[in-house]
Amino acid sequence: MNKRMNFIDLFAGAGGLSEGFIQAGFEPIAHVEIEKSACNTLKTRAAYHYLKSNKKYKIYISYLKGEITREELYKKVPNEVLESIINAPIGDENNKEIQNRIDKCLGSKKVDLIIGGPPCQAYSLVGRSRSKTKMEGDPRNYLFIQYAKYLEKYKPKMFVFENVLGLKSAKGGHYLEEMEKVFNKKGYQIKLHTLEAKNFGVLQNRKRIIILGWQKNRKVNILNLEKIATESKYLVKDLLNDLPVIKAGEGADKFSKYKTETTDYLKSHALRNGIDILTQHVARPHREQDKEIYKIAVQKWEKKQERLNYNDLPERLKTHQNRTSFFDRFKVVAADLPYSQTVVAHIAKDGHYYIHPDSKQNRSLSVREAARLQSFPDDYYFEGEKEGANRTAAFKQIGNAVPPLMAKEIAKTLIKVINGK
């Protein structure tokens, strides 16, 4: 790339999409996000990138070790780095203020790319199944209109719009049709791609919609992202085996040592990044009854490679009223498969769907294990509103994120498209 192309990240979340683009060589101008805890994560990651690029990486390491506070970390980076993280809800009442702040970050530059995806609950199949109104009337259904207003103002060469698979079927495809009309009206053509994270080196079964948009007056060769497929020889155990053994309720937020040397998968995909500082390997506590169910689920998988059906449990262990659906509500993350089940934000509420495959540990996944399934590097620290261990906030951010490895491959493809190669 001759010059670093830049981007604005809307509905940025914890920054998974952004991280992939930065790793591919793009420069972030600003991130806009409504959740305070996610904004703190974005600030910490912005501090990491600044310190690393200015050969001050040891300061960030000190933070991961717990030797300095978050406030002290932030004082080590220029204000403009932190001010590029904008904590505000995107909408008519805030757009002017948000855009003023973006303009300040942008200076005399022009925007090359806008990336991001509005909250997916309004389009997701699970969200619609749990909603009495099928999410109709939810204002989040039309956040793409707000997204389009930023296209109109900044006129990027291209944009990347990420969302869940349910977008294609929500209200019989109505929202997707409306999106195309709105984006077209703003001067952009679009192409929809259905991508699977496991084709991008991510050890997780995760399908997502990626809409690529480009200015109608530009001649571009849009490559088919669906044809990208990375051959994987790895199994889920390759991202679990180097971590210390912990039981339910155990682990350290900052910091602990790895159990073994790095694995080939972690090294080749830069998840361990050469550092020997492990953070957020923290497991939630569980009730004795749940731990008993976890053992049954793991043993069933180990002996027969069969999933636990909730209705097959002894009656004394069945406490859920719903016996007609969600039979797999207790599910093992199988170590001997090439990918896990989809990591979603519900992991913040309980870990039943993400049981660790080692029955001796008898717990659900730790924060770091979930982050690795999403392909976040180990030096990526997930913040809460307040400083310190924030397991629930971290799980929610991880479950809502775009896997950085997938984002990186998309970004590398867009470099070729924008440069006309």
CATH code at 224?
A: 3.40.50.150
Same domain for 138 and 85? yes
Residues comprising the chain, all counted? 421
- Reported as a single tens digit per residue, the pLDDT across 38-76 is 999 999 999 999 999 999 999 999 999 999 999 999 999
Query: How many other CB atoms are found less than 10 A from the CB of residue 49?
Result: 17
At which residue do the structure tokens 């009337």 appear? 137
The answer to whether position 156 is within a domain reads yes
What is the C-alpha to C-alpha distance for residues 68 and 286, in angstroms, rounded to an integer? 31
The answer to whether position 153 is within a domain reads yes
- Reported as a single tens digit per residue, the pLDDT across 194-213 is 999 999 999 999 999 999 99
What is the C-alpha to C-alpha distance for residues 254 and 266, in angstroms, rounded to an integer? 20
**Residue 82: CB partners within 8 Å, gap ≥ 6?**
43, 46, 47, 74
Same domain for 320 and 240? yes
Cis (ω within 30 of 0) for the bond into 255? yes
What is the C-alpha to C-alpha distance for residues 97 and 239, in angstroms, rounded to an integer? 42
Same domain for 387 and 278? yes
Same domain for 148 and 12? yes
pLDDT at 133: 43
Same domain for 100 and 70? yes
What is the C-alpha to C-alpha distance for residues 234 and 238, in angstroms, rounded to an integer? 6
DSSP assignment of 53-76:
HTT-HHHHHHHHTTSS-HHHHHTT
What is the C-alpha to C-alpha distance for residues 252 and 237, in angstroms, rounded to an integer? 21
The answer to whether position 287 is within a domain reads yes
pLDDT at 122: 57
Query: How many other CB atoms are found less than 10 A from the CB of residue 148?
Result: 23
- Six token digits for residue 315: 């009656």
Query: How many other CB atoms are found less than 10 A from the CB of residue 356?
Result: 26
> Mean pLDDT, to the nearest integer, of 252-262?
94
Bridge partners (DSSP) of residue 196 are 207
Same domain for 388 and 276? yes
Same domain for 26 and 89? yes
What is the C-alpha to C-alpha distance for residues 406 and 62, in angstroms, rounded to an integer? 29
Active site (annotated) includes residue 120: yes
Bridge partners (DSSP) of residue 214 are 158, 189
The answer to whether position 1 is within a domain reads no
Same domain for 321 and 203? no
For residue 66, which of 344, 237, 254, 326 has the smallest C-alpha distance? 254
Query: How many other CB atoms are found less than 10 A from the CB of residue 186?
Result: 19
What is the C-alpha to C-alpha distance for residues 212 and 180, in angstroms, rounded to an integer? 11
pLDDT at 229: 80
Same domain for 135 and 265? no
CATH value at residue 305: 3.90.120
pLDDT at 170: 79
What is the C-alpha to C-alpha distance for residues 56 and 76, in angstroms, rounded to an integer? 9
Same domain for 249 and 148? no
Question: In total, how many domains does the chain have?
Answer: 2
> Mean pLDDT, to the nearest integer, of 86-110?
97
pLDDT over 60 (residue 129): no
- Reported as a single tens digit per residue, the pLDDT across 224-246 is 899 888 778 999 999 999 999 99
What is the C-alpha to C-alpha distance for residues 328 and 297, in angstroms, rounded to an integer? 10
Report residue 335: phi and psi, to 5°. Answer: -70, -25
The answer to whether position 11 is within a domain reads yes
335 pLDDT band, cuts 50/70/90, is: very high
Tell me what the pLDDT averaged over the chain comes to. 92
**Domain range for residue 295?**
236-400
Same domain for 352 and 291? yes
Query: How many other CB atoms are found less than 10 A from the CB of residue 96?
Result: 9
Bridge partners (DSSP) of residue 189 are 214
pLDDT at 2: 57
First vs last C-alpha separation in the chain: 11
More confident residue, 187 or 326: 187
What is the C-alpha to C-alpha distance for residues 367 and 382, in angstroms, rounded to an integer? 9
Same domain for 406 and 395? no
Of 32, 39, 120, 333, which one is the catalytic site residue?
120
